[in-house]
Structure formats: C-alpha cells, structure tokens
Amino acid sequence: MFQKDLISIHDLAAPDVTALFTLAAGMKARPRDFRATLSGKILAMIFEKSSTRTRVSFEAGMTQLGGAAQFLSARDIQLGRGEPVSDTARVLSRYVDGIMARTFAHQTVLDLAAYATIPVVNGLTDLLHPCQGLADYFTMSEKFGSLKGLKLAYVGDGNNVAHSLMYGGPKCGVDVAVATPAGYEPDATVIANARADAAAAGTTLLVTHSREEAVAGAHVVYTDVWASMGQEAEQQKRVRDFAGWTVTDDLLALADKRAVFMHCLPAHRGEEVSASVCDGPRSVIYDEAENRLHVQKAILATLMGRS
C-alpha cells in the first residue's frame, strides 16, 4: 500500500512497483484515457538544482493528466532566503495538491514530507533519485518482457542513481552489481538496506571495484557522469580517479548478448561512456528518458488522485 509520499524506492513493496508499471504502461499506450485524471490539481515543483528532464517531464505530465504545474526555483520562493522548510511545506499544502522537490540535501525532502499534508515526490536529492530508478526498471521491463532473473550492472560513481538502482533491484526481481573505483563506493547505509532487501527478495547485490566482474553476463550496463551537480570543483580529480572507467564496446562485450546500455543523462561522451556505446545500437537512453514521463505520471496519479 502506497504511503503519502514517494521519497525512496526502499519504502515501496514489490506490488507497489508492479502497480506503478502497469499504470505507466497504460498511460503510455492510451494517453487520451487519462486526460482528466488530475483535473484541477496543481503540483508545486521546487528546484534547487536545475534540470531538463525532470522539469519538462513533470510539467508535461501534469498537463497531460489535466492538471497544472508551478515551477519554483530557489530564487523564486522564500525557502531560498532562509524560511524554514516546515513553513514552506505547511503553506504550500494550503495552495496546491502536491509537491515535487529536486534538492541538494536529502533532509530537505524528508522535512517537506514530514510537514506537508499533501503528497511529496522526491525529484532528486544528493542521496536518491527514485523517479529515475523506477523509469530505468520500467524500461528494462519493456525491453526484456519480464524482469525476474535479469542482472543490471552499474559502473561508475556510487551516487544517488546507483543508490536508487540498488533499492529497485529487489523490488523487481533483478540482481544488481555496482562497480566503482576505490573511494567512490555507494553509501554504507544504502548498501546495508539494499542487501537486506535483496536477501528478503531472493535477489543479489554485488559491490565491487572490478568493472569486469560487475558487467559479466549483465542484461543492462548502466553508467552516470563522474561528477554530479554540485561536485564541479572535484571534476579534474574525478577525471583522474576514474581513468580507465569509461564504458566502452570492449566492456559491453562482456555482458549478455542481449544487453542494452543505459544512462540517466546528461552524458559526457568520451568520459564515462564512449560515443560508440552511447549512440550505438544497444543504447536505449532516449527510451529511458521518455519513460520518466510515463512513470512519473503514474506516480502523480497514484499519490494525487486519492482526494
């Protein structure tokens, strides 16, 4: 049973994820059937971090569901000038029907959810990116038909995307392998939670420093930028530390013969992935980006369509 908010895939049960994917598939196939689903509803979108895909997909999604979205940057609202998160959450709860927040600190989204009386959706924090992770697994389900027994290999920085993929695997019946350079491992608490989830679900979680071990036999090879937003000052150091960690055709060749390549975008060709992989025949990055729209519409309809 869905909670009030969507903060982490870790909070969801496997049937919740299945229900979301079923709804998203219906919305993708028959968008006209859902044009009045959120008629008259308003989503406030708080952005501390800029975005192409998050802003456009949520705004378009609300419009396609018959509602409206309001873009609120840190410069536009008092949250950026020191107003307590609790006040922002309580006031917005009097004006709108839902909040999507894309923030730096994960605690900001937790506080919004704690004080808001309306649904809060985590559009991204430094810790987690649940909407991206759900869209990724939905894309896998489209490409392979069934998720159970598949393997996803993530190669790169142990960041918010890696965390959400780790949480998503057990909910979808997917084995997950994460390979990072030493010093760039995923958060220890996330690893512990994801391992417990995997043990309960009968899936596996591997965290390693070997790209080859992670990718061997994988059905999805996934990577992300080496320096996420807010880490620009570390860019040069990370380029040095990640030398040799580019996802190339040779690395992809170690995966299952049906394997596809995924990236949450934006992609830096020549850094975390070669152009030949990113733009090659096994890349599904644009299908993956499109599916943010459909999965997020399912999330919004599920959370905001209750009242």
- Which residues are known to be catalytic? 102, 129, 132, 224, 264, 292
Buried b / exposed e across 129-161, counting CB within 10 Å, b at 16+? bbbbbbbbbbbbbbbbeebeebbbbbbbbbbbb
Which runs of consecutive H residues, i.e. helices, occur in 173-226? 188-201, 211-215
Strands ordered across the beta sheet of 151-155:
205-208, 175-179, 151-155, 220-223, 260-263
How big is the CA angle at 246 (ends 243 and 252), to the nearest 5 degrees? 145
Question: Dihedral (C-alpha) 286, 290, 292, 297: value to the nearest 10 degrees?
Answer: -170
Residue listed under structure tokens 């979108």? 45
Q: How far apart are CA 192 and CA 205, in angstroms?
A: 10
The residue among 5, 198, 221 whose CA lies nearest residue 100 is 5
CB 257 within 8 A of CB 265: no
Q: Which SS3 state, helix, strand or coil, does residue 151 take?
A: strand
The angle at the Cα of 199, spanning 197 to 204, to the nearest 5 degrees, equals 95
Are 12 and 122 a contacting pair, CB within 8 Å? no
**Beta carbons within 10 angstroms of residue 241's beta carbon:** 16
> If we measure between CA atoms, which residue out of 84, 82, 78, 114 comes closest to residue 99?
114
State the residue for tokens 């994801």.
194
Assign 115 to helix, strand or coil. Answer: helix
